[in-house]
Amino acid sequence: MLEVTNLNASIDGNRILNGIDLSVGSGEVHAVMGPNGSGKSTFAHVLAGREGYEVTGSVALDGADLLEMEPEERAAAGLFLGFQYPVEIPGVNNMYFLRTALNSVRRARGEDEISAREFLAVAREAMALVEMKPDFLERSVNAGFSGGEKKRNEILQMAVMQPRLAVLDETDSGLDIDALRVVASGVEALRGPDRSMIVITHYQRLLEHIRPDVVHVLVDGRIVESGDHTLALHLEEHGYRDFGEQDGAGQRLSGV
């Protein structure tokens, strides 16, 4: 489903990604773990098409060249990015935001816009999935949301947009144990044979709830080790120093 080949990215002359190769099959969940500054967030943003990076290499989603696409075209092609820091947009309510998001990818795929009634059903189901309160649809996007609500909203958006590939950037950061459980069970519910996920995380604890098929270790912008879920347990015990890092003390490069 996703083929990443020799992906390099730099910003203002600073190399952040150094030849990432990654292959994610349909229905697979891959975890990308790494210390601060290893390029995890940059990897997520480059996949989603954030401007400002010089990018070489290739990224193919279902055979289509993602790097040639605008961010919105990638969304239409089935890519979803769950943000580490979801953006507050005062003045735009979640109802409008979700409906516009859903309709824009439906339009781009040549499908009809969703009716108001159908949309409400979709939205309510997604809200139930992440235990969002009924007033959610009237509230502004993420404005005044707690950290946990913001992350739950990301999963809610994923549930509405039904992507082929979801890239979840540190979805577990800043969550207490209850919020982590809600987010993780939401992600688990959205697993399926036609949907792949890349779960980016610093810590192993999210992976106690979401068991990945493959774990990759990212250090200095390159994947230095891949293995099954026991690799995450090894990292939890020994940190990243086996991989040439002083347990996250490396210089923070991505700034994101």
86 binds other proteins (CB under 8 A): yes
The three-class DSSP label of residue 2 is strand
Q: Give the span between the Cα atoms of 105 and 198, in whole angstroms.
A: 21
Choice from 161, 175, 197, 232 touching other proteins (CB under 8 A): 161
Q: Give the span between the Cα atoms of 121 and 235, in whole angstroms.
A: 42
**Closest to 153 in 3D by CA, of 182, 174, 178:** 182
65 binds other proteins (CB under 8 A): no
118 binds other proteins (CB under 8 A): no
CB burial readout 132-162, b (16+ within 10 A) else e: beeebbebbbbeebeebbbbbbbbbbbbbbb
How much is the CA Rg of the chain, to the nearest whole Å?
A: 18
CB of 108 to other proteins, least distance (A): 7
Choice from 96, 121, 178, 252 touching other proteins (CB under 8 A): 96
In degrees and rounded to multiples of 5, residue 69 shows phi and psi of: -100, 150
Contact (CB, 8 A) for 129 and 186? yes
Q: Give the span between the Cα atoms of 250 and 245, in whole angstroms.
A: 6
136 binds other proteins (CB under 8 A): no
Q: Which two tokens stand for residue 44?
A: 């997520």
CB of 70 to other proteins, least distance (A): 7
Choice from 18, 26, 93, 185 touching other proteins (CB under 8 A): 93
Q: Which stretch binds other proteins (CB under 8 A): 10-18, 49-57, 204-212, 220-228?
A: 49-57
233 sits in the region (left: phi over 0; alpha: psi -120 to 50; else beta) called alpha
CB of 137 to other proteins, least distance (A): 11
Give the nearer residue to other proteins in terms of CB position, either 35 or 86: 86
1 binds other proteins (CB under 8 A): no
64 binds other proteins (CB under 8 A): no
CB of 213 to other proteins, least distance (A): 24
48 binds other proteins (CB under 8 A): yes
Angle between helix axes 116-129 and 94-108 (nearest 10 degrees) is 110
240 binds other proteins (CB under 8 A): no
Choice from 40, 74, 151, 152 touching other proteins (CB under 8 A): 74
CB of 237 to other proteins, least distance (A): 35
139 binds other proteins (CB under 8 A): no
Q: Applying CB under 8 A, which residues contact other proteins?
A: 45, 48-51, 70-72, 74-76, 79-81, 83, 86-87, 89-93, 95-97, 100-105, 108, 140, 157, 161
